[in-house]
Amino acid sequence: MGLEEKLPSGVLTTTVATMLNIARKNSLWPAQFGLACCAIEMMAVGGPRFDIARFGMERFSATPRQADLMIVAGRVSQKMAPVLRQIYDQMPEPKWVLAMGVCSSSGGMFNNYAIVQGVDHVVPVDMYLPGCPPRPEMLLDAILKLHDKIKAAPINGKVEWTTLDESPYEKPIVRDTRISKGLPVDQPLVFPAPLPGERPA
């Protein structure tokens, strides 16, 4: 804008909130909470093929005091739930929770008395990742979507996107080809295009 034109090259202006959020998301240390089979996929993500170190997350801290992101990987039994809550309480702010796999998102295939039906009964969850187990690429995709949420957060809060439609980062790239096709351009572009007979949103 006006100020940036006058500054020499190599100087970037931004907001404090953006700086903080970029710093937070680029070095998100996971608290290792691998409980069951999903932990194997989490270990695979830490390996060289699906490298998580490129996102700054290779240090899976065993101590929650130095962790930012708790990846709940695996089924949480009734006996483990207070332990999970205690580890979550021991993490300092700002902290996020990623429920990895169907067992931590919703109880998974274990619909019975012994497994907590969804870890959001115990801790507040920021990202749900289905899969049994989710592939390492799926875990990386969930982490990147969580990065988007972190980047868009205000300075001392969190965004409350419940669906991805509200995220500004998941909008598809749409090119308006109506002019080249000779279609009328007086109406705004609607994407996805409504089916014939359907009322446009």
Partner 1 sequence: MFGASGFGDTSGFGGLAVRPQQLESTPKPYGEWFDEATGALEETLPNFGDVIERVVVHRGELTLFVKREAIADLCQLLRDDPRLRFEHFSGVSGVDYPNDPTGRRLHAVYHLLSMTNRRRLRLEVSVSDADPHVPSVTGVYPGANWHERETYDFFGIVFDGHPGLTRIEMPDDWPGHPQRKDYPLGGVPVEYKGATIPPPDERRSYA
Closest distance of CB 119 from partner 1, Å: 15
Could you say whether residue 167 binds partner 1 (CB under 8 A)? no
- The one among 3, 11, 114, 195 contacting partner 1 by CB under 8 A: 114
Q: List Cα–Cα distances, 146 to 25, 43, 69, 117, 184, in angstroms.
A: 8, 19, 10, 23, 40
The nearer residue to partner 1, 34 or 107, going by C-beta atoms, is 107
Distance CA 192, CA 201 (A): 10
For the chain, give me the number of helices (H) and strands (E)? 7, 4
- Does 86 help bind partner 1 (rule: CB under 8 A)? no
Residue with tokens 């109880």: 107
Choose one: 34-42, 43-51, 73-81, 186-194; the region binding partner 1 (CB under 8 A): 73-81
CB of 114 to partner 1, least distance (A): 7
Residue 113 as a binder of partner 1 (CB under 8 A): the answer is: yes
Q: Of 47 and 82, which has the nearer Cβ to partner 1?
A: 82
Binding range to partner 1, per CB under 8 A, among 9-17, 103-111, 169-177, 183-191: 103-111
Q: To the nearest whole angstrom, how small is the minimum distance from the Cβ of residue 197 to partner 1?
A: 22
| Cβ distance to partner 1 smaller for residue 94 or 131 | 131
* Triad 189, 195, 200: Cα angle to 5°: 50
Give the helix/strand (H/E) hosting 32. strand 30-34
Say how far apart CA 144 and CA 142 lie, in whole Å: 5
**Where does this chain touch partner 1 (CB under 8 A) — which range of 30-38, 50-58, 63-71, 110-118?**
110-118
Site membership for partner 1, residue 90 (CB under 8 A): no
DSSP string, 132-197: SSPPHHHHHHHHHHHHHHHHT--TTS-----SGGG-TTSPPP----HHHHT---SSPP-SSPPPTT
Interstrand relation of 69-73 and 30-34 (parallel, antiparallel or unpaired): parallel
- Residue 106 in contact with partner 1, rule: CB under 8 A: yes
What is the contact surface with partner 1 in residues (CB under 8 A)? 77-79, 82, 106-107, 111-114, 117
